[in-house]
Structure 1
Amino acid sequence: MSVRIGVLFVLLFIFIHVLLTSAQNRDIVYLQALMDNLHNTPPNWVGSDPCVEKWDGISCIESRVTSITLSSIGLSGELSGDIGQLSELQTLDLSYNKDLTGSLTPDIGSLKKLSNLILVGCGFNGPLPETLGSLTQLGYLALNSNGFTGPIPPSIGKLSKLYWLDLADNKLSGPIPVSKGPTPGLDQLVNIKHFHFGKNKLSGEIPPRLFSSKMSLKHVLFEENQLTGTVPLTLGLVQNLEVLRLDRNLFSGEVPSNINNLTSLNQLYLSNNNFEGPLPNLTGMKILNYLDMSNNSFQPSEIPPWLSSLQSLTTLMMQDTGLIGEVPVDLFSIPQIETVVLRNNQLNGTLDFGDSYSNHLHFIDMTNNLISGYTERSRYSADLILISNPICRESDTTASYCDLPIDSNSSYSTPQNNCNPETTCTSDQVSSPNCKCSYPYTGTLTFRAPSFSNLGNSTIYTSLQSSMMVSFQSNHLPVDSLSLSQPTKNSDKYLEINLAVFPSGGERFNRSGISQIGFILSNQTYKPPHSFGPYFFLGHNYDFFADATKRKGKSIGIGVTIGVVVGGCVLVLLLIIAGIYAFREKGRAERATKKNSPFASWDPDKGGGDCPQLKGARSFTYEELKTCTNNFAITANIGSGGYGMVYRGTLRNGQLVAVKRAQLRSTQGGLEFKTEIELLSRVHHKNVVGLVGFCFDEGEQMLVYEFIVNGTLKDSLSGRSGIRLDWMRRLKIILGAARGLQYLHDLADPPIIHRDVKTTNILLDERLNAKVADFGLSKPLGDADRTHVTTQVKGTMGYMDPEYYMTQQLTEKSDVYSFGIVMLELITARNPIEKGKYIVREVKEAMDREKDLYNLREVLDPIIGLTHELQGLERFVDIALRCVEDTGNQRPRMNEVVKEIESIMELAGFNPNAESASASESYEGKSKGSGHPYLNESLFSYSGGLLDSNLEAK
């Protein structure tokens, strides 16, 4: 009897399910399945019909879901394969939800009617599925600013209707696919207008087949990849091209001569490659605005006369391009010219702007040339830099052009509209340009190739604001006003502007309003003024919805079909739902407990899902560390810091360790500590101090590091350690430190910016091998911020990157700057700032490239100056000074620094891959243990630790 009842209940349940799925809204089941893998979905996602009940972000036609747009609402979780069952879906936009992770399901290829796939600024990763090629109706594909890896699927070439393809700012690698036989390729996209592939790891040559005269391309963006070879001649066939970025690759050979055929080009970036031969003749580019050919290996030549014929030019960037001779006067009379950067060339003579120079001229940089004179003009008021020219070196001039100018970034902010400000706004409210206190939707507008460079011109921002308001109003969005602020050029030469959009009809947006605004920006419905060029937007999560209460359950409404089911079935169904609800609530409670106490259910002997995912580090009990430090004895104490004490200890296996023990008042949350040790445990390199383990026991938080016996590089340079370092030993040490930093930048997962590179954070082991130490201020580059981390300024004065100090944008090039200071400290044994003198300025003022050792004997450490011939010193100084360039894009990457130091060592007759000799056997002196390297700000400092990057970015 009981079996029959059970079978009856199963049949009734199946009957109800069939009734539900065959009702007017057949997509409810698939949306519910999607919700099982998503968190923080809109609270009104309940009921039986998302179309009738108007679920936030869902649009329908005839009771079928055709659009899902959910921008910036804090969605998290993964996109399950159930998305492929929404067969009528035409638009999917989940942009700006950075906690959406996991791979992009291959089932996405089942959406045969999809025309817009937009996943900008999420946390997706893994390879792009080949099934993308099945989306035959797709016109707009934007997957930029995620963490996608692997090759570009050749199947994308089958999307004949595609006009927008943005895969930028990911980790895509491999060659650019083109068609071959039955295999499709990107060359088949003849209707495409946008190739956005910048900031990936694409390699190989650009196939000549990629371009043809059939294409209608407007933007080709390949910046910051690893592309090699020559630029194909077929590029000159793309007559409609407006923006071309090939900068920061490994291109070589001559620039193709027929590039001059691109007469519609507005912006051309060729910088930071290995181009050779003569400068390309660009006479035909009559409407070119922005030209950057810097940092290439062109043949030495005078400034070509055709430059003055480019009457629309606003920006000329030709630093380090082999220019010689005098600067022609008519170069500055180009009507629209704003910026001229010709630093690091061999330009000579007297600089003269003439009487008819452009009224727009605002910045000229002639640093490090051979300019011997300057004809001043009374009207001229722009910034001029002539540092490291004879005119500044050979006299005691105090002229402003012989000093660094004030930061050129603009502090522009949209003014208020002649209104009376609200008397009080709450702490999280903002006063709009119309003087209304409200909660704005914020984010960053990033323009990849603006045609102007003068960020101080407020007129351009006024036009941007006006055009954006017109777009919002014409699309009937609930926007009262908007504000633009802090325009900044970042290290990618992108223009970034903060955007705040204020709601109309109240002080908050609802989810529908946020999604509409996000979609207008994510699918490029809004078109900025032409001078701003291609852009993308990264919105922040909107945390101010009026309905703060989250959805408690995921019940499936039964609608009108309940009437066909007997009362007993309703009771059974309710019981089932109640059971599911209770089970899920229990799971939520357990997850909340784990969040507050992440180690609560972890048995170190058995392991399990709650233990940190450690790679090489182990968990210590409090008693173990108490024993190995002799009960944290005073004699074992080797220093203290703001976080607490550091103790020397000996493990049972005899290994020496340094134990960092946090004070109770400085300990961070358990979840943060767990995440932190998971990150550090992944760092394994012979030139990086290793994390041996940790302790999270009896209320203690401790980190256990390997003990490095010979102290810091600073100790040896100052003489405190008693170790004498000759030229060879210094090269070995600096190479090891460079390799350690390169590992953190390029091979650690996720990549790590150290943020406090200095000689006290480079340790020397028993064989004087260098090890980078102290990650107390370090920052990981997550999937959403792979270019930079916006964070409060921290570090050590003298070593700190001035660009980071001014912009608060931390990049790997900030470490490169600090490393350059370390290199100069290595050869001078001087502090970065000593008696008010800065080591960079001291070296540059003493330098004379025409003399032996660059005339630096007066500033060199006598220990290396007396013992050996300093072979390779000049090249060493050159790379050090490249590292301390004012802006990050002028500095090399750490892998370039490593290669150059290796080359210097080989030139000096040293083997860069040989192990250092034992300090006890072949080095003079003996480590005196004066202090210890583990004493700087620690990982335990939450405000400066590895985990606050997202908090500070907000």
Structure 2
Amino acid sequence: MNVLSYIDFSNNTFDDRSEAPSWFSTLEALTTIKMNHTNLRGELPAALFSKPQLQNVDLSHNSINGTLNISSNPSTQLQLIDLRDNQIDDFIQRSIYKESIGLILANNPICRESDVTDKFCSPQTNITTYSTPWNYCPPPLCGLGQVSSPNCQCACIGSIFFKVPSFSSLENSTIYISLHDSLKTFFHEAGLPVNSLSLQNPRRNMDDYLVIDLKFFPSGEPSFNRTGIFGLAFAFSNQTFQPPKEFNIYYFIPEPYSNFLKDNESTKHKSSKAGVITGSVVGGCVLVVLSVLAGMHLFRQKERAERPPQQSQPFALWDSTSSSGGVPQLKGARSFTFEELQNYTNNFSPINNIGKGGYGMVYKGSLPNGQPIAVKRAQKGSSQGGLEFKTEIELLSRVHHKNVVGLIRFCFDQGEQMLIYEYIVNGTLKDSLSGGSGIRLDWMQRLKIALGAARGLQYLHDHADPPIIHRDVKTNNILQDEQLVAKFADFGLSKPLSDADRTHVTTQVKGTMGYMDPEYYMTQLLTAKSDTYSFGIVMLELITARNPIEKGKYIVTEVKESMKRNKELYDLQDILDPVIGLSSPLKGLEKFVDIALRCVEDMGNQRPTMSEVVKELEYIMEMLVHSSSSLSTSASYGGWSKDYSNDSLLY
């Protein structure tokens, strides 16, 4: 056990004849021993205290007796030896005892001698000068996502997954030491409040990924504050930590950190009260329409019975026991047969292949009436594809908005799962910003795209029934039509908010690194403000054309470190995309940056809602319209206008 560092056998009823284990002295990596209340007896080996990594020893409330010998050369890292309530009657090193080591011998026979006044015999409550707080702090109240350390700290815990490590053996301790050291160095250089960390239980999961459990202990405080925990979130979610080359690609999944859970539960409680009041008002209206709904239901049942089997029961073969869940519940969406889509896509010809993602291939097709379509075809046998398929058709069958891509139909036939969307001619916003589409976006066009995308999110959050959190807001999922109208796509990771809880949903962390909300990342509580954070990243990407994480640098940090608020354009010219039109005035850009930075605040309650973001972007657009004498109508801005009489948006 040459890498064993932490032992805790406390509160176990060992046999009364159990001697203090001599093998403790052979553990070179040992840092902590906790064996209080275990019935240990006998003398402690002096060699134990000379282990080079040893920091803390708690053998209190036992029957250890004889002479205490901590050797003349104890570990330089030794902080505490807690031996209170034992039977020790002598201490060899009393005269050369180091003040830097916290030693507690209270309630031992040696402390009952009349001439002994050494402070290590004082009751615990009087010990105030040791360098470590372990001696006199109360037991930490660590909750979900935390584990107590010997020095009264609550750790952040989680697991790190390495997809393609270059080594196969899990028993090579040297490789883990290199990971430990690189993490420790990174935290120090990044100024993160991590005092120590622990790597445990290396193993392979079902996907053959290397999984290691991590614990991070805070520095100087009982638990991490929000700043510290978000610093850890950024380090992993945005890939600023670079592991040794042997480990390669990774991702980190933390346990929820309990501090934030309490705050969100309070918010949830307040929201539920408002829901009760609203429900009472609405309840009476329901009775009025029940008879109408019953009649409509009977009419629809009759209509369905008259349809062909594929049209009336497209999910007759759906496996509700699989990871994809129960049969999809749709609202108005209709299906195509596999043969129909073969005809519409020229038998899924490679020439018609216009994209590829984790879900599968995307093909361009054409309906008999000439309408172009995009067919998203899932990879066969993909459980993830089945779940995304179900999510998208359920959600998109309920939403209809100018800034959300339209679902035309679906196909669940002959083992195929396909989604048929309206075809969006100008591809993704990511392609336009990177130059891949050949479109050069000026400042006005970028502002228009940002406003359209914000309206799409606002609709999902405030007007969809139930409200929808997209969960994967990024430039790859924003499409542009022929007039550069932004449309949100790819709802495979989206989550609806149920009537029972309209504030957040607890769910496994999913999304795209660089765009992910750190609060959601560390708590697993997904809220509408999680989309707001991701949208803030999109806004910064719109003006810089940089990836969220580029050459190990995070776009939020780059903007904050470069900007000077007292200068024109906040002095961001060096990181702005030159294509944006730096030779002409970029009116409103400073306010645009302000909104983006508010969206990426660490805490969700400090971020604006998407409704507020829309209003702010509309204000910038109005400034540009009114300040340009060369543009006589708002039609020059690609169809943007505002009806000032009722403050509603027109498209």
TM-score for the superposition, normalised by structure 2: 0.49
- Whose helix fraction is larger, Structure 1's or Structure 2's? 2
Greater relative CO, 1 or 2 (CA 8 Å, sep 6+): 2
